[in-house]
Structure 1
Amino acid sequence: MEDLQTLQQALAVLVCTFQRYSKKEGDRYTLSKGELKELLENEFPSLGNVSAFEELRSLLDVNKDGEVDFEEYIRFVAVACTLCHEFFFDFPVVLPRGK
């Protein structure tokens, strides 16, 4: 039961994180260039200086409308999860601790 709650919490964090940034300016259903940059800088500090930000934004913006919608954001999250899964595959399964 605890694993189900943890997964539900993880999904809620993904959705709420998108919504927190997408509501800052313009269309609340998409991330503008500035909103996406702020999200990446704050939520993915391990990326460091996002020097390839424009390239990443271009890759995420599949429909080329200049913004990143929720589906495009989730594709990015899925790729990030896949990379983490592959990197940590042989490590013991331990949930990260909260702050």
Structure 2
Amino acid sequence: MSGIVPAMKLLRDVFDIYARKEGDSNTLSKKEVITLLQVMFPISDVTAQDKFFTNLENNRDVVVSFEEFVTFAATLSHLYVFSFFLCTYKLLTLD
């Protein structure tokens, strides 16, 4: 099994764990997103949490769908890879 299949399953599993906490199990409420943030990332600033939720919740229906969650995860992955290559480039071009 390739590395991508377990990664896809992990994304779905994480989403499902938090989506089942309250209300609709097919979406994440703002409260569920904030709980996920507090567990996965050290974001305790309420303003930052609100901004994060607003940016994550693309279609303004006040919940985060799995598709929105995956888009967020893909964006994070892209930023991670980009920052890695940027740091590597800077290290290689130092005089």
* Unaligned runs of at least 5 residues, structure 2: 90-95
**Structure 2 partner of 1:70:** 66
RCO greater where, 1 or 2, for CA within 8 Å and sep 6 or more?
2
Where is the helix percentage greater, Structure 1 or Structure 2?
2
Larger radius of gyration: 2
TM-score (norm 1): 0.77
Aligned residues: 86
| 2:57 is the alignment partner of 1:61 | yes
TM-score (norm 2): 0.80
Between the aligned residues of both structures, percent identity stands at 36
Q: Offset at 1:49?
A: 2.5
CA RMSD of aligned residues (A): 1.7
Q: Offset at 1:44?
A: 2.4
| 2:49 is the alignment partner of 1:44 | no
